[in-house]
Amino acid sequence: MNIRSLVLLVVSAGSLACGDFTISAPTANECLEACRAEEVCVGALCEPADSIDAGPATDAGSTPGADGGAAGASDAGTTQPVDAGTPAPVGGDGSSRDSAAISCQALLAASPATGSDRFFIDPDGPQGPIEPMELFCGMEYDDGGWTQVARLEYGDEVWDAWSDTEGRPGGRGSWGVALDWFSGDDDGRDLEILIGATGTSENGYYLGPSYSDVPKAAWQPGVNVEQVIGDGFDVRTPGEPFERCEADIWRRNRLWSWAIARGEEGCSGWASGGGFVIYGSNRAADRALSLWGLNAFGANNQGARFEAVELFVRRR
């Protein structure tokens, strides 16, 4: 594949070999701008002051930053559409809360030379109820414009990724912002979704194919169990056009939390096929305990253990 050098995902540190491209962590080790009064800068992120153990006082002359904090509830209808080819709705350069961009895709459209880094993103613009948050933007991989919207760590409870905000967006541990905020479609089918995984049997950071025309029910645990969610989805690898995967995708049982799959093999397969499933257990159906699909995981009916799964989106 003809893939440019990739600086895409916030991983522990350094660079990781992954197929024929390289993933490097951002090198920024300072915060982007001053934290709020009740926050302190820790490891390039703003953390609540009352959650930090007592230690040396923060140097007032340093340049602390922010992770944006938890975003507020949002009506899906208030999210403004983003046209990747039209720079007008970018909102700002993403360098501060006051100049937040609407998405990484809009930011790249307005400034094509923008590199991968953390930027302030405000999906519904300055007049909407969603507060700006600091999220990672992948700008080199597969034409760029990818906004990181979720990180799910092994063993944690899986949430409704379409509608809900979980944890501290852009921070440590498991977190997520609603996919709904970045979609202009009531069912989310206009999004392109890229899924990455670390801590698997695959060396380094693994990136699966990207998906589109995926219904919102795929991201809502417990919804439509044993019923058809959709009639298929579009899938592609970098540099290639989308291809249609014709399959009545479903949530096979209550252990399937996030699910874009049907059957075991093929384009929608959950066992080393091209589908995707986060799977729980009989004792903990709502926990992320194994990863299936993505053309790599689930062989011999054994799902893969992982450290974290991350979701990235852009508007198709």
Per-residue pLDDT reduced to its tens digit, 49-100: 554 443 333 333 322 223 333 333 333 333 343 344 433 445 799 999 999 9
| Amino acid 65: pLDDT | 29
| Amino acid 172: pLDDT | 87
Q: Where are the domains of the chain?
A: 15-315
Single pTM value for the model? 0.74
CB within 8 Å of 242: residues ≥ 6 apart: 212, 234, 235, 236
| Amino acid 91: pLDDT | 73
32-52 confidence digits (pLDDT tens): 334 455 555 544 445 555 544
Average pLDDT of adjacent 10-residue blocks, the chain of 316 residues: 37 32 31 47 48 36 30 33 42 93 96 97 94 97 97 98 96 96 97 96 89 98 95 96 97 97 96 97 96 94 94 97
209-222 confidence digits (pLDDT tens): 999 999 999 999 99
Task: Locate the DSSP E strands across the chain.
Answer: 15-18, 21-24, 39-42, 45-48, 117-121, 133-138, 146-153, 175-176, 191-198, 206-212, 228-236, 243-250, 256-260, 276-279, 290-293, 308-315
268: alpha, beta or left? (left if phi > 0; alpha if psi -120 to 50): alpha
| Amino acid 204: pLDDT | 85
One DSSP character per residue, 83-95 reads -TT--GGG-S-SS
| Amino acid 40: pLDDT | 52
CB 218 within 8 A of CB 229: yes
Which one, of 304, 316, 290, lies nearest residue 236 by Cα? Answer: 316
- Other beta carbons within 10 Å of 115: 13
